Amino acid sequence: MIAPIELWYWPTPNGWKVSIALEEMGLPYVVKPVNIGRGEQFNSDFQVISPNGRMPAIVDPDGPDGEPLSIFESGAILQYLANKSGRFYPTDVRARAEVDQWLFWQVGGLGPMAGQTHHFRQYAPALIKDQRQIAYGVRRYTDETNRLYGVLDRRLADRDFLAGEYSIADMAAWPWILPEHQGQDLGDFPHLKAWMERVGARPAVVKGRAVGDEMRRNLAASGKAAEEARKLLFGQRARQS
């Protein structure tokens, strides 16, 4: 019996991308929690798998040559899993280019910009006493996230999914649409809203999105634990492993 893929994970949008993909592709996996609120992403053992000290990462004990293979970066993981399973990633060059464009758009645009929106709207107020110092960041990233929602809304005006058939591009983008945390109103983006509902109704998406719900710590809550978690998440400089 082939050992399951190890999913080094914490329930965040980037983590959900991979748990959703594993569920959609029917690949057996086991969750290896990486509690980012406790700084476990900086452990030297984990950084052997993920040199950037970020989750998610995977270890496939049955790599292409039969030897274990570790991969970090969620976009690279999605491509690998899709190639391994032969699902949700077309083989036709033109069709694959469509998927790749939207996958990299999410990795390079939607994720980082929405992530900064989360930071300035949710976490920065607890880190900086003078709220005037964060006002520009809130406005800058909330507005950019709004623009990116608009890109998706226009793209989805005449199609059900981002790149033809449902693909890893949809799995990558869907978890990052969190309007309540990003200062957005999905009512302003009807095509995006319909896509969110369409993708969110898929049984594998429901199951993948729920992975690790019981593990998650509310980092925005008050208290010593949350304060220490914020220091770990947002106060890091280069560290020696």
| Domain spans, the chain | 5-88+215-234, 93-207
Q: In angstroms, what CA-CA distances link 165 with 83, 90, 98, 148?
A: 16, 9, 10, 21
Considering Cα of 123, then 128, then 132, then 137, what sign does the dihedral take?
A: negative
pTM passes above 0.85? yes
Q: What letter does residue 128 receive in the DSSP assignment? A: -
Percentage, residues of the chain above pLDDT 90: 78
Query: Which architecture, in CATH terms, is 93-207?
Result: Up-down Bundle (1.20)
Helix or strand (DSSP H, E) at 127: helix 124-127
The tens digit of pLDDT for each residue in 70-124 reads 999 999 999 999 999 999 999 999 999 999 999 999 999 999 999 999 899 988 8
The tens digit of pLDDT for each residue in 133-169 reads 889 999 999 999 999 999 999 999 999 999 999 999 9
Query: Which architecture, in CATH terms, is 5-88+215-234?
Result: 3-Layer(aba) Sandwich (3.40)
Q: What is the mean pLDDT of residues 57-77?
A: 96
Instruction: Give the largest Cα separation in the chain, rounded.
Output: 58
The C-alpha atoms of residue 175 and residue 5 are separated, in whole angstroms, by 21
Label residue 228 by pLDDT band (50, 70, 90): low
Q: Are both 5-88+215-234 and 93-207 of the same fold? A: no
Q: What is the pLDDT of residue 222?
A: 41
- Full DSSP string of 172-236: HHGGG--HHHHT--GGG-HHHHHHHHHHHTSHHHHHHHHTTGGG---TTS-SHHHHHHHHHHHS-
Q: What is the pLDDT of residue 73?
A: 97
123: number of Cβ within 10 Å: 18
Arithmetic mean of pLDDT over the chain: 90
Is 72 strand, coil or helix? strand
Q: What is the pLDDT of residue 221?
A: 44
- Helices H, strands E: what count in the chain? 12, 4
